[in-house]
Amino acid sequence: MSRITLAHGGGGRASRHLIEHEIAHRFAGGPLEGLPDAATLRAPCTGLVFSTDSFVVQPLEFPGGNIGHLAVHGTVNDVAVAGGRPLWLSLGLILEEGLPLEVLRRVLDAVAESARACDVQIVTGDTKVVPRGQCDGMYVNTAGVGAALPTLNLDRRTLAVGDRVLISGPLGDHGMAVMCAREGFELDAAPRSDTGPVHRLVMAAAAAGDGVRFMRDPTRGGLAAVLDEVVDGLAVGVRLDEERLPLSAPARAVAELLGVDLLHVACEGRVMAVCAPEIAPEVLHAWRALPEGHGAADIGEVVAEPAQVTMATLAGGRRIVDVPLGELLPRIC
């Protein structure tokens, strides 16, 4: 089996060979042509949205995707929910000596295919190799630039009582997929990661007109963490309806077994939006028309309970939606 060696990161012939044969040809036809050290880009707008994310997921590959998918979708989504149209990504790789070349290829294929599907270009990057034992296979960083969309004006301070809380699909599939892969659960029907781009969901919401107050993708910490940040310091809060939370059957089963609350589990391809009640049905309709939004649901409302996130339970009672101390499931993304 071919493996990454320290020579591949040394800057010499082995490095160049790796970059030309594995990286450049997957991302050809753009600024990477000729392998310059930096990309010179012309922005089609006056405002830019810029974001970066690093990915340390363990294991590198899991049902529904691999670290390459996460690396593209994660940054594309951060740019999108901040109101940007994603354009360009950088790709930084830190590889562990001994990493099988086949794994690297699958990850790079995932990066290329995800970038194509999101209509973004990988324009610059870097590759380093560290000695065996020093980075758990592979760490990836992507930074992304997008054009600021003038139509999207998101401010959580505009939340008003009666606004609806929407989610674009089932909660916690990504975190549960990684958990199962890591724990080596034998599964007939494992939860599959929901890793995917959300920018089309964001643009569909923007197209519904004024009234989208706020959007965020619930990654680490899950929907609970996002909502907690949204209501922090506000005079209003959020009340979720447990009966209406969309949950996939495999994720539910594993969560019950492990005693995990799916509100705390990371998604990697979902958007939460808070909208004025008049446009919520339209946003839902637009989301459900997209493949990545077909499980979208209206899951709650903004209420006059300052800075609190609560939930009406299945049993008809009420409880606080808490945010756990640390990361329940480490190395999820």
Place of tokens 């970038």: 115
Instruction: Say which residues have a Cβ less than 8 Å from residue 76's Cβ, sequence separation at least 6.
Output: 86, 89, 118, 120, 144, 197, 198, 199
Judge contact between 114 and 69, C-beta under 8 A.
Answer: yes
For other proteins, the closer CB: 119 or 256: 256
| Interface with other proteins: number of residues (CB under 8 A) | 32
State yes or no: residue 325 binds other proteins (CB under 8 A): yes
Binds other proteins by CB under 8 A, chosen from 17, 134, 320, 330: 320
Binds other proteins by CB under 8 A, chosen from 38, 40, 46, 257: 257
Instruction: Say which residues have a Cβ less than 8 Å from residue 307's Cβ, sequence separation at least 6.
Output: 231, 232, 233, 234, 235, 237
State yes or no: residue 304 binds other proteins (CB under 8 A): no
The neighbouring-strand residues paired with 65 are 62
CB of 185 to other proteins, least distance (A): 6
State yes or no: residue 331 binds other proteins (CB under 8 A): no
Q: With H, G, I as helix, E, B as strand and everything else as coil, classify residue 147.
A: strand
State yes or no: residue 156 binds other proteins (CB under 8 A): no
Rounded to the nearest angstrom, the gap between the alpha carbon of residue 229 and the centroid of all alpha carbons in its chain is: 17
Measured distance CA(211)–CA(52) in Å, rounded: 28
Q: HSE, CB side, 13 Å, CA atoms: give it for residue 296.
A: 30
Sign of CA dihedral 209, 236, 174, 177: negative
State yes or no: residue 319 binds other proteins (CB under 8 A): yes
List the x/- string, 79-118, binding to other proteins by CB under 8 A.
Answer: ----------------------------------------
For other proteins, the closer CB: 68 or 237: 237
For other proteins, the closer CB: 74 or 250: 250
For other proteins, the closer CB: 36 or 306: 306
For other proteins, the closer CB: 184 or 291: 184
Report 190-229 residues binding other proteins (CB under 8 A).
Answer: 190
Closest CA to 164 of 306, 319, 317, 303: 303
For other proteins, the closer CB: 102 or 322: 322
Binds other proteins by CB under 8 A, chosen from 29, 44, 259, 291: 259
Q: With H, G, I as helix, E, B as strand and everything else as coil, classify residue 56.
A: coil
For other proteins, the closer CB: 97 or 194: 194
State yes or no: residue 278 binds other proteins (CB under 8 A): no
Binds other proteins by CB under 8 A, chosen from 38, 155, 188, 291: 188
State yes or no: residue 258 binds other proteins (CB under 8 A): yes
CB of 62 to other proteins, least distance (A): 15
Q: Which tokens go with 3?
A: 């493996």
Binds other proteins by CB under 8 A, chosen from 250, 269, 293, 295: 250
CB of 220 to other proteins, least distance (A): 17
Residues shown for the chain:
333
Sign of CA dihedral 315, 319, 321, 325: negative
Closest CA to 143 of 61, 69, 74: 74
Q: With H, G, I as helix, E, B as strand and everything else as coil, classify residue 75.
A: helix
Closest CA to 316 of 241, 244, 205: 241
Chain residues in the site for other proteins (CB under 8 A) = 180, 185-190, 243, 249-250, 252-254, 256-259, 305-308, 312-320, 322, 325
